[in-house]
Chains A and B, each alone.
Chain A
């Protein structure tokens, strides 16, 4: 999708310009902390009506990473983004960008640019004028503004639309212009506030890979806000899952998916089965639990957690981490309640012998029939499928 040459020229010129310190060179991108947030809170309103939008956020975002703030609406992710951008000032705590305290500074004094949810392109300006706006406001010479605008137009493949007004281009094109406009001043950090939510599915997939590539090629730190867990998993280097103004878990997509720290995270990301089972043994950071049928299985324990023998713990198991087998000798035996065909896979709703529900996701082939409701099946768990949740 992207013109690699243009992108490389962009990075090249960044190092060449290097005057404002806005640009990020590739060497820098590997190490270093870009944004450091300490004890940050944001309270809207006062007294009894006070609303804690953010409570004691501590976060380090590394230079050059694709960082995602993920959570349901109202969890504070957009507020956090707006605090980083400078649209909101924190009620308490510190916020450093590239080692410099920026709390109290306005958005025009921070080396950060935002791609807004509905793009917020200036309707009275052309595509080219929109893209050049930031540099013009920085007082750069006209020749540089024009050169960078041309470069950016090429980067997002919008050269042909340079003279159009935002109302004369499609949603996907507006999205590209918004990206180009935010990238043109070469910020240290690019903030993206659910930028893909207004696009249809196909365009969204396209823009996801384009965003990822832009990030890799410019080396700019991206902070991406979304409520779409799939988007977060596919694009991010690291994800912070937020709820009610707090960060619940911070980790790589793999960690977040396979080792959720608490019930909310497990529930919010992907489909999950929860099972309450008694612990029969604990060894080497692993627990053995007794399954409903009497079989024993190994479960991963969160770091530092030591359950008491006999204690009932909550475990999570992803729907694709078990497969259907003959009931004899299986880990679990269950009765089929219903089967829902999704094309690539089928979701089989099961009832375990102790009454707990279980959803199994089975990859489909052309010749495997869906199990009939009422039939009894066996389940075999994948190794490491069970994980104990911190209570």
Chain B
């Protein structure tokens, strides 16, 4: 016993380097952001060390330029919050819808060729995100590949405006994050006992009913993991909305960058960053609660 306790006594030291990096890199900057959000903006960016709630105030409200006492809701900000959440939700949903058949296809291949398919799924990761996003831009811009083809084939006369819309951002994010949904879904399907599918058919279920009553509940952990992996980076996305949404349709990430850059309002940027964190944590807690309640209901 004593010996075991002794080994335990120093073994945690092995974690120390990793722990140090994690604590320094995660909580250090986070702490700085929290502090900055309560300070006064400096004239040329940066902060003045003077306590102020103005940063947090401006997250939600704005003052009239001529009458500083006239306060109204900052609907530009609220629209951006809403768009970020809504687009990330749509991205997650789209990735799930596209990812499920893909993962199913891979999971039902012979084991030897599965590795190859998984390998192919990761190909987009080989190229820089910015380059891939510009490639999408090239595809969907007004005189880009898709519009040129459509006009050439005579289906349309005028190019369809796809670039710099919410659709462009959705398309770009779904493309970027799809592998993050496919991989956990595949992992869940790989563990699926296909005899259960047979049992479902045997007990008079149609294909659709087997999918709904047997397969989907069993690969749910994959959906949960995939949704988290897609939603969190999506809501803070910067490059995709910047390149495909232009300046017109901003997301939270762009708004934060704007405040630290041209806006020269670091406390507001810091407060927005904290808000993003709060949204992510709230979404995560809500989602896991919901997923677990579903589980609980199935128990009854």
State whether B199 touches A106 (Cβ < 8 A). no
SS of A interface (majority): loop
Bound Cα distance from A118 to B298, whole angstroms: 23
**Does B218 sit at the interface, judged by CB under 8 A?**
yes
**Does A23 sit at the interface, judged by CB under 8 A?**
no
Chain B residues within an 8 Å CB radius of A123: 196, 218
CB distance from A222 to the nearest CB of B (A): 15
**Does A169 sit at the interface, judged by CB under 8 A?**
no
In the A-B complex, the 10 residue pairs with the smallest Cβ-Cβ separation, listed nearest first, are A134-B203, A120-B199, A120-B195, A137-B204, A137-B205, A107-B201, A124-B217, A107-B202, A108-B204, A114-B202
Q: Which of B19-76 contact A (CB under 8 A)?
A: none
State whether A181 touches B195 (Cβ < 8 A). no
State whether B193 touches A120 (Cβ < 8 A). yes
Offer 14 A-B interface pairs, CB within 8 angstroms, sorted by A: A85-B202, A86-B201, A87-B201, A108-B202, A116-B199, A120-B196, A120-B198, A122-B214, A123-B218, A125-B298, A133-B200, A133-B205, A134-B203, A181-B203
* Binary per-residue interface labels of chain B (286-300) against chain A in the complex, 1 for a CB within 8 Å, 0 otherwise: 000000000000110
Chain A residues within an 8 Å CB radius of B114: none
State whether A124 touches B218 (Cβ < 8 A). yes
Bound Cα distance from A353 to B195, whole angstroms: 55
Other than A113-B202, A137-B200, give 19 A-B pairs with Cβ distance below 8 A.
A107-B198, A108-B203, A112-B202, A114-B202, A116-B198, A116-B199, A120-B199, A121-B199, A122-B199, A124-B218, A124-B298, A125-B298, A133-B205, A133-B213, A134-B203, A134-B204, A137-B204, A137-B209, A185-B204
**Does A126 sit at the interface, judged by CB under 8 A?**
yes
* Binary per-residue interface labels of chain B (181-216) against chain A in the complex, 1 for a CB within 8 Å, 0 otherwise: 000000000000101101111111110010001100
State whether A122 touches B202 (Cβ < 8 A). no
Find the B residue at minimum CB distance from A118: B195
Contact check: which of A87, A124, A185 meets B203 at CB < 8 Å? A185
State whether B298 touches A138 (Cβ < 8 A). no
* Binary per-residue interface labels of chain A (152-184) against chain B in the complex, 1 for a CB within 8 Å, 0 otherwise: 000000000001010000000000000001100
Chain A residues within an 8 Å CB radius of B214: 122
Q: Which of A51-108 contact B (CB under 8 A)?
A: 85-87, 106-108
Bound Cα distance from A205 to B257, whole angstroms: 73
Residues in chain B within 8 A of chain A (CB atoms): 193, 195-196, 198-206, 209, 213-214, 217-218, 298-299
* Binary per-residue interface labels of chain A (248-289) against chain B in the complex, 1 for a CB within 8 Å, 0 otherwise: 000000000000000000000000000000000000000000
State whether A87 touches B198 (Cβ < 8 A). yes
Contact check: which of B193, B203, B205 meets A113 at CB < 8 Å? B203
Given A133-B213, A137-B209, the answer on whether A122 and B196 have CB atoms closer than 8 Å is: yes
Bound Cα distance from A87 to B196, whole angstroms: 12
Chain B residues within an 8 Å CB radius of A114: 198-199, 202
Chain A residues within an 8 Å CB radius of B217: 124
Find the B residue at minimum CB distance from A112: B202
Contact check: which of B195, B205, B213 meets A108 at CB < 8 Å? B205
Given A124-B218, A133-B213, the answer on whether A108 and B196 have CB atoms closer than 8 Å is: no
Q: Which of A112, A137, A181, A182 has the most CB of B within 10 A?
A: A137
Find the A residue at minimum CB distance from B198: A87
Chain A residues within an 8 Å CB radius of B200: 122, 133, 137
Bound Cα distance from A185 to B198, whole angstroms: 16
Find the A residue at minimum CB distance from B220: A124
Bound Cα distance from A86 to B202, whole angstroms: 8
Find the A residue at minimum CB distance from B214: A122
Find the A residue at minimum CB distance from B206: A108
Bound Cα distance from A385 to B292, whole angstroms: 68
Find the A residue at minimum CB distance from B217: A124
CB distance from A314 to the nearest CB of B (A): 42
CB distance from B149 to the nearest CB of A (A): 41
CB distance from B33 to the nearest CB of A (A): 42
CB distance from A167 to the nearest CB of B (A): 12
Bound Cα distance from A114 to B209, whole angstroms: 18
Chain A residues within an 8 Å CB radius of B202: 85-87, 107-108, 112-114, 182
Bound Cα distance from A165 to B298, whole angstroms: 10
Find the B residue at minimum CB distance from A191: B202
